[in-house]
Amino acid sequence: MTEYDYWKIFPKMPRKVTIGDITVRDGFQHQEKFISTAAKKFYLEELIFAGCRHIEVTNLGNPYLMPQFSDAEELLAHLRSERFRKRCARKGVPYDELCLTAITIRESAVDRAIRLRQKGIGPDRLLMMVSTEEEHHFANSGTTLPDYWREAERCIKKCNAAGMVMCGTVSTIWGSPIGGATELADAVEFTKRWLEIGAHDVEHADHDGSASAPDVYRYFSMILDEIPDPELHIAHFHETKRVASASILAALQAGITRFEATLGGQGGQPANFVDDCPTRGTGEYYYEDPRYVGLVCLEDTLVQIDEMGIAHGWDVDRVLWLGKMMEKTIGMRLRSEAVVNGRTLTEGHMEFARPGLRARKQKLGEAPDQKLPSEWAAQAVLPPRCRP
């Protein structure tokens, strides 16, 4: 007989997951207009109040390259303020459970994070990034892979000494937008290298939506065979072909418990134009149409996981409301379908019912819950050609 219990078919699939938000950093870095500091504070607060406990706040790199993050210190100071701590307490949010992350691609940004930590407004967690495909890595960081690994090792020691932890990202796992196809085994080895040099956890990134569900399942199974603690791994998927929800499902089936997403599916390569001014970003865009670039939607991911019966700790309805607010902030329709269509409602939409069904059933002598003719047998009898 066929097994119908999903968790027996996929025994590694978790009953509870952690979903972090990276809207204000990865999402906004792709926008070609400056998102006001007030708006950033609003979304950081509201995402935390909606259930987020792992949140990327900003990028501590040079704001000359990415002016979207010229307000980095103000955002961190806001989240470290006594006012925000009191707001968390009033709303029942355990402040000590929050993990504030800042991106620090190069050592100068790590040094900046350490100075902020000494001032009492630094992040809890930093993030550095390697790509398994070196051309992509060079476009992001401006240095070779061997040289960067040495820099990352120094930076991890520095940030640990300052009371912070480092997340190491492995990118271009399933392919590079510059160099093309990549090898999964390289990403497994890079993951081990991050942990060997002291990284706290590892973000596994589908940088440009190259992943397919079978390869996602294969890769994360390889990872968990080698490094079985799921708390060490975060799945990071981009959406370019409308198949990332399948990648999320495949990662769940493999046993991954940590994910991250953005409101409206925003994000991608840093903008090289902000408001009315060209800026460097990370160079020329490697895509032709920005409508098809971005991460998995937080709204849709939460609805997917929630309706699978997997615990996640978020207020889904509040997130859907935030998604609607975000579309006003950005000034355009974003990529969430759940924001438009909502959750699957078990009570239905009776406002759309055609009047007169009850009266019609009474006229025909049918019971209110009758669905088949009364003269039919209680059970269907399949014809021989249709039987198993």
Q: Which domains does the chain have, with CATH numbers?
A: 11-341 (3.20.20.70)
* pLDDT 10s digits, 169-216: 999 999 998 999 999 999 999 999 999 999 999 999 998 888 999 999
Give me the pLDDT at residue 165, please. Answer: 98
**Which pLDDT score is estimated for 242?**
86
pLDDT of residue 308: 96
Question: Looking at residue 289, what is its pLDDT?
Answer: 83
% residues pLDDT > 70 (the chain): 100
Residue 16: pLDDT band with limits 50, 70, 90 = very high
DSSP string, 330-378: HTS--S-SHHHH-S--TT--GGGPPTTHHHHHHHTT--TT--S-TTS-S
* CA dist list (Å): 328 to 122, 262, 282: 30, 15, 27
Sequence-ordered list of residues with C-beta below 8 angstroms from that of 107, at least 6 positions apart, any chain? 151, 154, 155
Band (283; pLDDT cuts 50, 70, 90): confident
**pLDDT-derived band at 368, boundaries 50, 70, 90:** very high
pLDDT at position 344? 86
Percent of the chain with pLDDT over 90: 89
Which tens digits make up the pLDDT trace of 210-247? Answer: 899 999 999 999 999 999 999 999 999 999 888 999 99
**Mean pLDDT of the residues in the chain:** 95
Confidence of residue 15 (pLDDT cuts 50, 70, 90): very high
Query: Which pLDDT band, with edges at 50, 70 and 90, does 376 fall under?
Result: very high
Q: How many CB atoms lie within 10 A of CB 195?
A: 15
Answer yes or no: are the C-beta atoms of 245 and 304 closer than 8 Å: yes
Q: Could you tell me how far CA 303 lies from the centroid of its own chain?
A: 13
pLDDT at 267: 95
Given its phi and psi angles, is residue 56 left (phi above 0), alpha (psi -120 to 50 degrees) or beta? beta
Coil, strand or helix at 295 = strand
Confidence (pLDDT) at 208: 84
Question: What pLDDT, on the 0 to 100 scale, is given for residue 282?
Answer: 83
Residue with tokens 């090289």, as numbered in its chain: 272
The token duo for 147 is 């040289």
Q: Degrees (nearest 5) of the Cα angle 343, 349, 351?
A: 145
Please write the tens of the pLDDT for every residue from 314-352: 999 999 999 999 999 999 999 999 999 988 888 888 888
Once rounded to an integer, what is the mean pLDDT over residues 88-108?
97
